[in-house]
Structure 1
Amino acid sequence: MPLVAVLAACGGGSRADPTPSPSPTASVTDARTVTTEPEQAQPTTSSVPATPQSSASSVPSTTAAPVVLEPLTGLPVRDEASLLRPALIVKVDGHLGARPQYALDQADVVIEEIVEGITRFMAVYQSSVPEVVGPVRSARTQDMLIAPMLDMPLFAWSGGNRKVTALVRKSPVVNLSASSRGLKGVWYRTKQRKAPHNLLARGAALFAGAPETSHRPPAMFGYRAPGADPGGRDISGFKVAMASTRVQWVWDSKRAAFLRTSDLKPHTVDGGGQIGVDNVVVAEVRYRPSKADPNSPEAQTIGSGKALVFTLGRVVVGTWTRAKTSQPWTLTDKEGRPISLTPGRTWVELATPARLTIIDVGVKPNEVPWKTK
């Protein structure tokens, strides 16, 4: 389907490639579309061709067709199939036995949450389809407080206790449990890992489980126009204690990305290098015992709290707010202005308060202590 034929129906999209070269006349109209107004007597620079002029018109058009952006990265659409693709959430194992994970670096957004003493990931895919993803693990009640913001996403998980399973079934998600019937060619266990850290899923087969009514998700964040100042102050990175998991992100100017270290080792993916992302959003939240299992923590992601947004080698301090499960987080700075992200991949840390330490410019990470209490 030609890209221009579905612009009106979709309204946005992108993928996680480097930020495109800025155009001096480009203006961001929302988190999903960019309108380009070319200068007089110059051809359009838009990646989407303008609609051909009618031969009966003697007045040339001065406005190019909008560039469609991916909703979860803010980058221009490269894969036209993503214009109609829903979001896919995969519950990925964070245990040491699950590392290196598969395709965790390909997710548009990763939400890291505390489970029983360690962390687990909600890896969200939409702009591209991973070949294999995992290891896949079970869900928690806190997942159903987050998933609805993606408007009926596909939800892939290994299973859960009776109460969690009942909650997933009645929540506004497409249930793609490993125990679900009718899914063909999705799940398999690799012999390279030990159970329960060896359940993998084929990305294309998961997306094939989407119903005909599925649609692309709304944007989760707002993104800056190319060349816009992100605000905040320069930093080298930060450390945050997520239960017993020690997470560190350090800005790499050569890769123009924050690189992840987990439990004092570079966090890598199977067959690839160290995980790097364009943005890290730290949302300080409270955890309460889950009603499904008192030993399972549940992040309280409705309400408000402190937010630290790490982007382009800087940190912007502000507040996150969210009124209901169907809405995304709103990020504002100390003056109440919206905080915009760098187009690209984003990692969200659902951290408990007072567990984060900034690594200032010129300071070595090993000189910065962990805040564990």
Structure 2
Amino acid sequence: MRRTRTRALASTIAATALVLSACGSSDDGAGGDEGNDPQATSAGSKLAATWPLTGLPVKGEDSAVQDHPVLVLKMDNTSSSAPQVGLGSADLVVEELVEGGMTRLAAFYYSRVPDDAGPVRSMRASDIGIVSPVDASMVTSGAAPITIKRINGAGIEFFGEGAKGFYRAGGRSAPYNLFARMDETATLTRGGERPADYLTWGDAADLPKGKPATSLAASFGGGHTTSWSFSDGRYTIDNGYAAAGDEFPADSVLVLRVEVGDAGYRDPAGNPVPETKLEGKGEAMLFHDGRVVRGTWSKDGLGAPIELATKQGELKVPAGHTWIELVPREAGNVTFAR
């Protein structure tokens, strides 16, 4: 059951402070009878041994009380967004198709919440399947009425312009000048338990060998292609818009081939708005450490987790920062090279 939520755009929300100070957790979670439990109680809150969006261990120097929702900021991903701010602090990013063949980013924040992030853009119905598995709260410029109705129906909490933390940045033109002070917006969220892991995390040593792949290109159907290069253990976007030094630190790139339908309305320019169907099943490609492993993905419903598999069994994503590409099954394409 999803918790009942209160909309920041409609009413005042009682602030709950987001604590980002160290909480004295143990790195290995061991100790007495709690040694077999992945969580240990500290300061009245449960701390898991790993972060839900990365699978990385929670260390004393960067631990946080895990009693707040995941925050997902909708970020523009066109040249007009440059420079994008806040991607370097994200735990996980999902890239999705929007109208006109362009893409938009869903930047997930949990282990770190940045001071500033943006440009902030609007939600899509596609986001229901993207954020629901971790019961995330969304930071957005708004949405079309039909989308807001569906977001409300899905029980997703969201904060838009006018809520605490939002501001218009000087030197940029609208609508690419809306930003959020995420540390301030985070105080609007209500408390909650640590969410389930977004992906099934594992050890890189257990990943199937796969094929060499030090570059890849994810095409979303002619309007946009995201190109990646692998070097020094990380994947870097060759044609991205992130501010220098604020790029997303991708350890893995996960490509999911997805069905794309019509959301049922058009944008102000008259373009039909697509809707990514992040449920069902399809082809998956996991890029890690300069190689690619092919498999399949499945998701039993919009709120269900993403499950990955190969012919040999479950496919686990190596713990780290992951960028997910939701590439259209029909119109999109994925290529890679040694």
TM range (shorter): 0.7 to 0.9
The one-letter code of the counterpart of 1:339 is: L
1:275-354 → structure 2 map (5 Å cutoff): 275-293=248-266, 295-333=272-310, 335-353=311-329
- CA drift of 1:49 comes to 7.3
Q: 1:187 aligns with which of 163, 166, 174?
A: 166
**Aligned twin of 1:136:** 120
- Rounded Cα–Cα distance in structure 2 between residues aligned with 1:345 and 1:141: 25
Deviations 1:212-260 (A, max 9, x none): 3x232211112223643443122212112123112111111x2x11111
CA contact (8 A) 1:48 1:65 kept: no
Structure 1 residues 83 and 120, CA, compared in 2 at 3 Å: closer, same or farther? same
Are residues 1:77 and 2:61 paired? no
SS in 1 for 2:206: coil
The one-letter code of the counterpart of 1:344 is: G
Provide structure 2 residue ranges, at least 5 long, that are not aligned to the other structure. Answer: 1-21, 39-47
Larger RCO, structure (CA 8 Å, separation 6 or more): 2
CA contact (8 A) 2:85 2:246 kept: no
1:17-96 → structure 2 map (5 Å cutoff): 47-48=27-28, 50-51=30-31, 68-78=49-59, 79-96=62-79
Structure 1 residues 112 and 82, CA, compared in 2 at 3 Å: closer, same or farther? farther
Alignment RMSD (CA, Å) = 2.3
TM-score by length of 2: 0.81
TM-score by length of 1: 0.74
- Rounded Cα–Cα distance in structure 2 between residues aligned with 1:208 and 1:104: 20
Q: Which has the higher strand share?
A: 2
Deviations 1:268-304 (A, max 9, x none): 5225255440111111112111034481000111111
**Aligned twin of 1:148:** 132
**Aligned twin of 1:223:** 201
Which deviates further from its counterpart, 278-287 or 66-75? 66-75
The one-letter code of the counterpart of 2:149 is: A
Structure 1 residues 51 and 261, CA, compared in 2 at 3 Å: closer, same or farther? same
- Rounded Cα–Cα distance in structure 2 between residues aligned with 1:225 and 1:357: 26
Higher-Rg structure is 1
- Rounded Cα–Cα distance in structure 1 between residues aligned with 2:251 and 2:335: 19
SS in 1 for 2:173: coil
Deviations 1:98-125 (A, max 9, x none): 0220111321111101101200011111
CA contact (8 A) 2:88 2:246 kept: no
Aligned residues with identical type, % of pairs: 29
Q: Which runs of structure 1 show a deviation greater than 3 angstroms over 4 or more consecutive aligned residues? A: 1-4, 48-52, 63-67, 226-230, 273-276
